Chain A
Amino acid sequence: MKLAIASGKGGTGKTTVAVNLAALLAARGHHVALADCDVEEPNAHLFLPVEWKTREQCTLPVPRVNEALCLGAACRRCVDACRFKALAFMGDAVLDFPDLCHGCGLCALVCPTGALTYATRLVGEVRGGIARIRPAMGTNADRPDTAERDLVHTEAAPVLRFRDGVLRIGEAMATPLIKAVKDVPPPTMPQPGPVAQGEGVQGPCAFVIRDCPPGVACAAINAVHDADLLLLVAEPSPFGLHDLRLAVGLARHLRLPHAVVLNRAGMGVGMGSGLGCSGATPSATAAGGTPAGDPVRAWTEREGVPLLGVIPFSRAAAECGATGSLVHDAAPEVRAAYAALADALEKMAGNAAGPRRPWDGMGLSGLAGLATPGTAPRVADESGATTGGKERTCAR
């Protein structure tokens, strides 16, 4: 199952959710690969002391002019063709500006003499490695000694495959690097087949979890567009709601199955009085003066967007996150919330291989515009508008 974890804006806890969920699923014996596609700010590795194994450079082809073959001012076709102003005519020679080039290849196509060959520009680096997870994590064992780290270096420990990309500072083209990172080979399974093929009996599942770039622009789209499920992490605040609405807009536009994970739930409770909620009409309870709870929950209910997880705000968990450790052991209620989220995903991944679609039986049938799992939805130019569903699920 390809799970994309995204948000309309950074800082909602997307990376925290991705890392903790990946570690928990790996601790439960699933085959998990975590790809940090947020190449501008790759932070997931800070939470998992990764043993790095591979480093590859990601490059973009940029043209190089062979002046011996170039016809010069008489031709200029490449300069006229380039839509990104990466080629210019200076004096009697074609000058390339590799930093502006998008690597589209058009200039070489139009060149009548083959004077344009391709060199490369460094976009960033793709790093791969593994992290060993403490098997007991996420179980109901008593809270272990806090001095104990989440990783143990034994061969028996569950392994999480990890991959991320680091964008070169000053580089504007993030998408080639995102593509290189997200195309992580799916975890190898003991039995043939990409996903556990069992009927009824659930073996270990394969999860590819992507920590996606925030926002709804091209970087985010490249990371999410072929996912089986988009998990949108949101905060219970007016900003959080506004950002979530953008993210849900993106999911509907791409016709991707999506669900919300409410992070730091309870943080804003008691403050909502129906004010300032980005044009949303205050709900009846809010208008009545009672605390409106958080605006995100109310909105997901109204819109029929499934709420798949509710992770409570916990000061202890925030401190763990601050230092880069996993939050499972910080607070029992946080651990329970992740366990519930993992349960729901296991159920979906188990179903994904069978005849049922992953959202069947999950109360997710309210999702509209669904794609068949495993196939990348083609994004045609139609509106992609969807209707809010009737059913919803609550992970609590």
Chain B
Amino acid sequence: MRQIVVISGKGGTGKTSVTAALAAVARESAAPAGGARAGGTHPPALVLADCDVDASDLHLLLAPVVRERHDFHSGVLARIDAALCTRCGSCTAACRYGALDAPPRVAREMCEGCGACAHLCPEGAVALDERHCGEWYVSDTRFGPMVHAALGIGEENSGKLVSTVRTLAREIAEALGADTVLVDGSPGVGCPVIASLAGADTALLVTEPTVSALHDLERVHALTLHFGVRAAVLLNKADIHVGMARRIEAFCAEHALPLLGSLPHSPVFMGAQFAGLSVPEFAPHAEGALFREVWNSLRAMTPTATGD
């Protein structure tokens, strides 16, 4: 089984649209092979994992039908029992995250759940409750099963939720005999994206010809090197600025990063978004053909080590 993750560093480069498009072409390329049998007993081509748990958009294109819904708990949250508290101020002084004011009230957004306040409180007035951070779901989409999640507003730990989503997608793929897990990675270069890269075979770095995107491409590329994940680049909106596009190409050449394709800035992406479709479904010929090529290159780059 192979695990391919789509990341971008900078937001707005079209990462989610690209993920949906790859899922669509993967589905259509798999259908003729095993799709003859009716009743859907053949293994799905792929399992999707939406690791953009902070602000996921993939569900807007894939219209998942939720089959399972699970609460996600991580860490603890301090709670002060006002009946026991003598307002001595020890907890406020100890909290290094500014999560307690005086008289002590817990600012949920700031609390890291370290437990220092509970340790210091002479009255035993601080309880540490399990912290509900969000939900994760197992759903069906027209391209295969999808694991996705929604982090509550102001919740952290997206690294852990990302790992949960990714691990589960992998387990489902193994159980169903799917040969690919396609991951819509987290944005940025921090903890969540590290969690979405873990265990991936290949990372597709979606970028655009702007200085900001090039800057971020450098950073995510460094990250893939750091974690030993093979990387390839897809240049989106390539015609926005020809000079910057050349610079991205030069960067790829210099670092031996395969450039799998260049997509024009086209209203098709926006049109597909408004229609709630993936790009190859919306425009099967022009852009769809490009995505088919990208998908084939990605598959060629990522042989299934153990499977088939």
Contact = CB atoms under 8 A, between A and B. Distances in A.
Nearest to A42: B215
A235 B269 CA distance: 14
A109 B119 contact: yes
B240 interface: yes
B210 A321 contact: yes
A41 B12 contact: no
Interface stretch (B31-39, B167-175, B273-281): B273-281
A101 B271 CA distance: 46
Contacts of A110: 119
Interface in B196-246: 209-212, 215-216, 219, 222-223, 226, 240-241, 243-244
B187 interface: yes
Nearest to B17: A239
Interface string A319-357: 101111000000000000000000000000000000000
B108 A172 contact: no
Given A46-B211, A217-B54, A278-B60, A322 B244 contact: yes
A123 to B, nearest CB: 11
Interface in A56-88: 81, 83-84
A338 B28 CA distance: 46
B44 interface: no
Contact of A324 (B12, B190, B211): B211
B57 A216 contact: no
A121 interface: no
B153 to A, nearest CB: 5
Interface residue range, chain B:
35 or more
B177 interface: no
Interface stretch (A133-141, A151-159, A189-197, A241-249): A241-249
A323 B216 contact: no
B242 to A, nearest CB: 10
B155 A217 contact: yes
B109 interface: yes
B240 A253 contact: no
A253 B61 CA distance: 28
B153 A104 contact: no
A105 interface: yes
Interface of A: 8-13, 15, 40-41, 43, 46, 81, 83-84, 102-106, 109-110, 167, 169-172, 174-175, 213-219, 221-222, 225, 235, 237-239, 242-243, 246, 249-250, 253-254, 267-268, 271-273, 275-276, 278, 318-319, 321-324, 378-381
